[in-house]
Amino acid sequence: MNTSCFSSLYSHPNKYLEDHLSGSAHLIEKFSDESSTYLLDDKLISRLTKVIALCHDLGKSTRYFQDYLFADDSKKKDMKSMKETHHSLISAVIAFFVIKEEISKHAAYNDVKTLLPFIAYIVVKKHHGNLNDVVTEASLDDSDIDTMKSQLQSIDEKRFSILSDNLVKAGLDVKLDKNTINYYIENIKNELRNVKRYIRRINEKNDLSYYILINYIFSLLIDSDKSEVVIGSDFSRSYVELSSDLVDKYKSQMLYKENKINSLREDAYREVNSSEINFDDRILSINLPTGLGKTLTSISFALRLREKLYKTFNKNYRIIYSLPFLSIIEQNFQEFEKILKGNNINTSTNVLLKHHHLSEMKYTDDDTEFDTDSSKIMIEGWNSEIIVTTFIQLFHTLLSNKNKSLRKFHRIANSIIILDEIQSIPFYYWKLVKEILQAVAFKLNSYVIFVTATQPMIFGNDEIKQLTDKRKYFNQMDRVVIKPVLDKNIHLSELVDMFDLKDGRSYLFILNTIASAKQFYELLKQKLPDEEIVYMSTHIVPFERLERIEMIKSKKVKYAVTTQLVEAGVDIDFDVVVRDIAPLDSINQSAGRCNRNWQRSGEVYVVSLIDENDKKYSSRIYDKVMINITEKILSQYGEICEKDFLNIIDRYYTAISENLSSDAAIDILNAVYKLKYDSDDGTPSISKFKLIDDGYYKVDAYIEYNDEAIELWQRYLELKNVKNLFKRRNIFNEFKADFYKYVISIPEKTENMPADVEGFKYVNSDSINEYYDKEMGFITKGVLSIW
């Protein structure tokens, strides 16, 4: 199309409005067609979302917006605050009526006719912001109507006519003009009143379908909108074949010793990967003792399921591997890399992607490397075959009102979600997690695989397909004996004398708070002055933590004192583990750091530590009921053999279910049912969901730990000289992952708080000894520290 065919209306500087709208429509159609869901007919969703995309920025055709777009920077701030400059509301009104007309052609969908135009209205109105309570969104006041009329009057009729013609060519069935839009504005309040009555009816249904549908369409729109602006509408990500035998081929290259643990690992691997695949089994579980190769086994099964789904339905299912902690993301990501490289498969980010808040913003597609803006869009949009991510990224995509989080929601359709260490989900969220995962599996045509040694009772036995005969494996395990020593509470000074630490065995002490870990580390150093002892907590900079984990793995040290950060998934191995009392599932995870490879008999001692005021350290971070249940169960045994872990964990979870409240989950779940994304009055809303509650307020501190940290800080300070906000953010994203290797979270109320410098509490290399101890990390004063 030559330039004379354009309206000379712009969506962005140097981009015609019709180009952006048609480009977004092209992308949304492509994204929609990638998936097949059980929300509505796939072709209908594809058509509706295309129409929504063609309408979503029509409000930019007003003179107010066009003047703002090309105004001097000195004037833009004042112009942006004018209601007439805003484009989303009038675009949303147009989308409402255009979709209403579109829906009238589909008689089979009478039951949702009322809702679909309103969904179009919501997603367009909020496509630059966060979702709100939908009941609130179904209200407009007279000033909104007046603003839209003023906007409409300002539109150049000739230019808009050309724009409308171009949109018809792009696929819009209605030729819009100012008279038609005026009719829409005159009638929208009455339409929304009807919608509000309908919403109140569906609020009583307790049906997650509406929530999933709104999120899915919202996600498609904001992803196509952002992607078109940054990457363009011609971007295409081709399907990369990953054969189901990748793990088999990788394993064939490895040399495994013939021993009992490897024999059981192979048995479990074969059992899972020879199991019959039934597409109706949406929620699955691989429940095996720690150290039995759950990662490789689950990856292999997911690849086999993915291949069969593709061959049967000709749809590409992405694999989303999710873990609870950043500390174990790297370990599992490297496992994927080894498998792919072992099969001569390029590990570019279009195949394998790591995504968490510290991920490096660099995206590659075979030989193409995208610039920072494009990389950010591609990574945050989960444009890859395999995504390795955190629980926070995943569950705050499933349960959120935030634009940034919901953008990748549609990528969860047609996915195989592996949830590793699922027991890390707080008990009070079990019901919420169950409902949302079921909705994802059955509405978005996805699969969920739990991978754990301690499977919580989120789903009943009849609701989940077990891929292993778990009892067969647990009954054969004899690596570890748990020895409760709970007849009395003990002080740290007593703990250090409990064991013959010179008996040739390696010892791991896991304590509940940073303060108690520091104190015990000092006592242990006095006890063993000639031995090297590793200390770890979250107050150690991540750079050093990783170094210390590698020291432990290489068997260079026999003694370690840590907080709970090593419990789940960190591949370290000791002969003896000593654990301050914790919930039983945490103790079981701690036991997984003991004699993992069955080299000798392992022992796990559970003790109850108290401070100088005789207060239990456990009471500061764990629910009292959970500790009481654990103590009651453990007190019935002198020793617990590993083969009995499964029965005891089941008893524990049953007791937890009977004794603890899940009100927090029910509040959020009710908000989901009612589509209450946010609230101004403090009542429960989806926005209140927070997977991990740290228990106390923290701030980020940057520690100039070494020469690299000094250099990175200087680069960070130089960002002030970059006036353009987006360019500044892009430059920071280039070294963000390295920068955060020297960032720790510290208590907000510590008495020795470092100075504020450019958004961080800053500890420079000259004053580091005042705030940071090279052995034990940040020096807190006057405040409790945990983890």
pLDDT tens readout for residues 333-370: 888 889 998 899 887 777 888 765 444 444 345 444 44
pLDDT tens readout for residues 429-483: 999 999 999 999 999 999 999 999 888 999 998 999 999 999 999 999 888 999 9
| Angle (deg, nearest 10), helices 294-313 and 260-273 | 20
Instruction: State whether the Cα torsion 585-589-594-597 is positive or negative.
Output: positive
Q: Is the pLDDT of residue 783 over 90?
A: no
Q: What global pTM score does this model have?
A: 0.88
Q: Is the pLDDT of residue 29 over 60?
A: yes
More confident residue, 697 or 38: 38
CB 621 within 8 A of CB 696: no
Superfamily of domain 477-659: P-loop containing nucleotide triphosphate hydrolases (3.40.50.300)
- Note the helical H segments in 592-706: 624-634, 645-659, 663-673
Strand partners, 416: 319, 447
Query: For position 325, what pLDDT does the model report?
Result: 76
Residue 763 host element (H or E): strand 760-763
Residue 443 host element (H or E): helix 430-443
Per CATH, domain 280-470 is 2.30.110.10: no
Architecture of 3-230 per CATH? Orthogonal Bundle (1.10)
Q: Where in the chain is CATH 3.40.50.300?
A: 280-470, 477-659
pLDDT tens readout for residues 212-226: 999 999 999 999 998
Quickly count: other Cβ atoms within 10 Å of residue 644's Cβ. Answer: 16
CB 419 within 8 A of CB 450: yes
Please state, rounded to an integer, the average pLDDT across all residues of the chain: 89
Question: Residue holding tokens 């959970």?
Answer: 626
Q: Long-range CB contacts (< 8 A, 24+ apart) of 307-314?
A: 307/242, 307/243, 307/244, 308/244, 308/277, 309/279, 312/279, 313/36
Q: Is the pLDDT of residue 373 over 50?
A: no
Strand partners, 604: 482, 577
User: Residues 617-626: what's their mean pLDDT?
Assistant: 92
What is d(CA 59, CA 444) in angstroms, rounded to the nearest whole number? 32
CB 36 within 8 A of CB 445: yes
Contact residues for 59 (Cβ-Cβ < 8 A; gap 6+) = 65, 86, 87, 88, 89, 90, 91, 94, 151
Query: For position 367, what pLDDT does the model report?
Result: 45
Candidates 289, 309, 296; CA nearest to 269 is 296
What is d(CA 347, CA 364) in angstroms, rounded to the nearest whole number? 9
User: Residues 189-205: what's their mean pLDDT?
Assistant: 88
pLDDT bin (cut points 50, 70, 90) of residue 785 is low
Pairing of the two strands 10-12 and 743-747: unpaired
Q: What angle do CA 652, 657, 658 make, to 5 degrees?
A: 100
Q: Is the pLDDT of residue 536 over 70?
A: yes
Query: For position 172, what pLDDT does the model report?
Result: 96
Residue 425: strand, helix, or coil: coil
pLDDT bin (cut points 50, 70, 90) of residue 268 is very high
Q: What is the dihedral of CA 657, 663, 665, 670, to 10 degrees?
A: 130
Q: Is the pLDDT of residue 327 over 70?
A: no
Contact residues for 447 (Cβ-Cβ < 8 A; gap 6+) = 282, 283, 284, 305, 317, 415, 416, 417, 441
Query: For position 694, what pLDDT does the model report?
Result: 55
Instruction: State whether the Cα torsion 344-348-353-356 is positive or negative.
Output: positive
CB 743 within 8 A of CB 544: no
What is d(CA 36, CA 33) in angstroms, rounded to the nearest whole number? 7
What is d(CA 268, CA 469) in angstroms, rounded to the nearest whole number? 9
Q: What angle do CA 483, 488, 490 make, to 5 degrees?
A: 90
Q: Where in the chain is CATH 1.10.3210.30?
A: 3-230
CB 639 within 8 A of CB 490: no
> Is residue 382 classed exposed, middle or buried when 0-12, 13-18 and 19+ CB atoms within 10 A define those classes?
buried
What is d(CA 623, CA 488) in angstroms, rounded to the nearest whole number? 20
Query: For position 124, what pLDDT does the model report?
Result: 98
Cα-based distances in Å from 427 to 289, 328, 422: 21, 22, 11
Query: For position 745, what pLDDT does the model report?
Result: 87
pLDDT tens readout for residues 138-168: 999 999 999 999 999 999 999 999 999 999 9
pLDDT tens readout for residues 695-735: 455 788 999 999 999 999 999 999 888 877 667 777 887 88
Q: Is the pLDDT of residue 2 over 50?
A: no
pLDDT tens readout for residues 74-128: 888 888 889 999 999 999 999 999 999 998 887 655 567 779 999 999 999 999 9
CB 579 within 8 A of CB 486: no
Residue 486: strand, helix, or coil: strand
pLDDT tens readout for residues 284-319: 999 998 888 899 999 999 999 999 999 999 999 999
Q: Is the pLDDT of residue 661 over 90?
A: no
Instruction: State whether the Cα torsion 169-170-173-177 is positive or negative.
Output: negative
Instruction: State whether the Cα torsion 311-317-318-320 is positive or negative.
Output: negative
**Lowest-pLDDT range, 177-181, 188-192, 376-380?**
376-380
pLDDT tens readout for residues 729-770: 778 878 888 898 999 988 887 888 999 998 889 999 999 999
